[in-house]
Amino acid sequence: MIGPPADSGSRAAVRTLQGSARAAHYEVFDPRFDPEPAYWSRLRATAGLYADWSWAALAAQAWAARTPQYVTVLHADDGPCGVVWAAWVGPPTRRHRFALTTRGGRIGGLDVRAPNNASAPGWWFADGTGQRLLTDYAPAMRDRLGGGSRLLLARQLGDTDAAAVSAPLRIVRPTEPISMLDTASFESVEHWQSELRATRRRSLTQIERTVDDDPHLEVRTGPMADTDAGEVATLLRHNAEKHHDVPIVPLPMFTGYLEHLLRQPDVVGVRYVDPVSGALRALALILDHPQWPVIRSWSTLPLHRGGRRNLYFDMYTQAVRFALASGKKGIVLGKKMTELKRTFGARTVAQHAALVPLH
Amino acid sequence: MRAWATFRRNHGIPCTNPVTAVAHCSAMWNSLAFRLWRAAYLRAVSSAFATVPLYRETWALHGRTDPVLVPGKTGSNGGALPADGVHRRLVDTAPLAGGSTEPDPARGLAGLLTRATHRPSHRLVVIVDSDVTRPPTGLPRGSRGCVLHPDAATAAGDEPVIREVVDTLRRGERVLTVGEGKDLDALTAALPAQLPPPDRVPHHRIDRPGTGPFGLLHDPLLGYLGVLRECGRLHVDHWHVYVRETAGGLAFTVLDRTSPRLVDVLIGGGVPGEVHACPKHGSPVIET
């Protein structure tokens, strides 16, 4: 049986932060047990946090995770001034088990990253200073979790933030870059395609024509609230099982999590469906954002089960069409396949991870 | 005895006279057996909650009872899930360590055949059911299993399985057919009249119980769950299956298969019923 932490009478711990230049106090939430703070929607909008930061999705994500996960909100006198999501990684963590305890061991470290999203940082500070991870967040978590918290790993640090992490014995290493496609300068999909290499342009045009001509395929771009989460989870699993080339394979998105995520109005799907049966053949999940939506997931059925060739490439055309229609600055295409994404006009943004011992 | 009394109370077994209960020769054995049965179920629940996404999400976010895993969350139907809901989420029934998500509708048949037919073995076991696509495994040595689609059961002659049935019967060996009664009738009618008819054990669905004298409780998702014995009661395959009474109906758990993990599944749309100890055999029986 898993119960709430013993010291959480009011569930979230509210403490005062000493010696901080800006944050006056902080709250640490465990989304498994703590209700959504009243200010959460407002904070999400202010910070521009994607749909996977919605509290319902966070709770589902935290329950179906290998490690306990904490959401820390830093408050200034005039309201929340920072939010950080982190997984507590300690010795009882098991590759094939969900977190079994509330705390996850006495000794461990904090893995600061975005929930279920490798293309975005796991923190937001009102003044945009990543250094606050060390000056405000780390002391708060040490205070909350005790002296057993020995390490802080921060991922998705840009060049500026990586340089700003100044701590003794820190280790900063470059990680896989993310690809970003600027679309604000384009007037139409054709305009975007005209800027691409001739072979890529011809290929995209041909693929789009093939998709249009296929009577058993229809492209639908829009909200996902009416979609069967079980079907989406099954489809996404095809792609998730291809990417087992990392030491610790991330858990796939499960149906319960997707039920909560897809209900969010800022989740958009590019769906390739059979117009007769409505069955999903391929899907790109886009987490919407006022300026930079991110393509969170892509998957397609294998060919022998109704999938189609080259839909992955067509998905980029559809994503650009969505970005242009909704007036975005661009689209975050995520990690991996950097060279291929470059042929779509994407640029790469360097990313770093910093490991900092906590004293 | 306390455990047996608790089980009897929990399961509504109408035995109000403690003297009678103590005098029952199988009560002591039953006490231990039911405790072991229950312990196997609790291990399955614990394992499912710790490693299988479907149950982790369902029981953590909504809750369950007997046992409660997250304080304050009791969910609906005691945490049991309808079979069609589980079927839609099969992708999440494999544990994190990996495994199959394909249900096996022929699961559990081999262990029940002896009790279902009162014969040690048959040369050929034929399942006639559209839901069963793979032959049963674990049959006794010398027995072979195969499946036949009900539509093919009437295609006399040119269907390989029917040819095999005919050849086996011509050699004077025994053939057992298992499936819905009408499908078994169709298969028997398709065989040459001069041959002896094959033995038959009909499927019983929890929402459409048959009358006997033979029968196997079958569900397309969970496989074979119990057997109709000579006492006329539907005996649960308690070595491999656990049954629990919930507000939504009888919930079945497959104990010995970890992937797909099927725990507390309401089959047949959720059929109310009770779990008793059989007065003759001492093992659990269900009444709907």
* CA B96 centroid distance within chain: 25
Residue of B nearest to A259 (CA): B57
pLDDT mean over B230-251? 94
Task: Specify whether domain A15-176+351-357 bears CATH 2.60.40.
Answer: no
Q: Which of A242-246, A342-346, B36-40, B128-132 has the lowest mean pLDDT?
A: A242-246
* CA-closest candidate to residue A314, choices A178, A191, A160, A208: A208
- Once rounded to an integer, what is the mean pLDDT over residues A139-153? 89
Mean pLDDT value across residues B52-76: 95
CB contact under 8 A, A98 and B92: no
Q: Provide, as residue numbers in chain B, all residues whose Cβ is less than 8 Å from the Cβ of A96.
A: 51, 95-97
Read off the pLDDT of each residue in B254-277 and give the average, rounded to a whole number. Answer: 94
Tell me the C-alpha distance between A10 and A73, whole Å.
Answer: 15
Does the pLDDT value for residue B203 go beyond 60? Answer: yes
- Of B62 and B28, the structure prediction assigns the larger pLDDT to B62
Q: What is the pLDDT of residue A145?
A: 86
A323: pLDDT confidence band, cut at 50, 70 and 90? very high
Whole-model pTM: value is: 0.90
- The CATH superfamily of A184-328 is Gcn5-related N-acetyltransferase (GNAT) (3.40.630.30)
Higher pLDDT, A10 or A141: A141
What integer is the mean pLDDT of A124-130? 87
Strands (E), B66-170: 81-82, 124-128, 144-148
* Mean of pLDDT values over A102-129: 87
pLDDT at residue number A15: 61
Q: Is A28 within 8 Å of A7 (Cβ atoms)?
A: no
The structural domains of chain B, with segments of one domain joined by +, span 14-102+236-287, 109-220
Cβ distance A254 to B57 less than 8 Å, yes or no, reads yes
Look-up of token digits 């309401």: B266
Mean pLDDT in residue range B173-196: 92
Domain ranges of chain A: 15-176+351-357, 184-328
CB spacing of B60 vs A233 below 8 angstroms: no
Measure CB to CB from residue B50 to each of A97, A234, A254 and give the nearest one: A97
CB pairs under 8 A between A and B: 67
For the cut 80, the answer to whether the pLDDT of residue A203 exceeds it is yes
According to the model, what pLDDT value does residue A220 have? Answer: 96
Cα A43 to Cα A73: distance, rounded to the nearest angstrom: 10
Q: How far apart are CA A195 and CA A190, in angstroms?
A: 9
CA distance B101 to chain A (A): 11
The mean predicted confidence, pLDDT, of chain B is 87
User: Do A15-176+351-357 and A184-328 show the same overall fold?
Assistant: yes
| Integer Cα distance of B288 and B273 in angstroms | 4
Residues of B in contact with A35 (CB under 8 A): none
Closest Cα in chain A to B45: A1
Per-residue pLDDT reduced to its tens digit, B223-238: 999 999 988 899 999 9
pLDDT over 90 percentage in chain A = 73
Q: What pLDDT score was predicted for residue B94?
A: 97
Residue B80 to residue B246: CA distance in whole angstroms: 7
What's the pLDDT score for residue B213? 74
Retrieve residue A235's tokens.
Answer: 């489809």
Burial class (CB in 10 A: 0-12, 13-18, 19+), B197: middle
**Please, what is the average pLDDT of chain A?**
90
Span A211-268, pLDDT tens digits: 999 999 999 999 999 999 999 999 999 998 887 777 778 899 999 999 999 999 999 9
Would you place residue B10 in the very low, low, confident or very high pLDDT band (cuts 50, 70, 90)? very low
* Rounded Cα–Cα distance for residues B181 and B173 (Å): 22
Amino acid found at B34: F
Instruction: Look at strands A149-157 and A108-112 and give their pairing.
Output: parallel
Q: How far is CA B139 from CA A27, A43, A173, B160, B238, in A?
A: 60, 62, 58, 20, 18
pLDDT band at A68 (very low <50, low <70, confident <90, very high): very high
User: What percentage of chain B reaches a pLDDT higher than 70?
Assistant: 88
Structure tokens at A144: 């909350």
d(CA A39, CA A220): 34
Tell which residue, A241, A251, A236, has the closest CA to residue A301: A236
Confidence band for A62, pLDDT divided at 50, 70 and 90 = very high
Stretch B185-189: mean pLDDT: 90
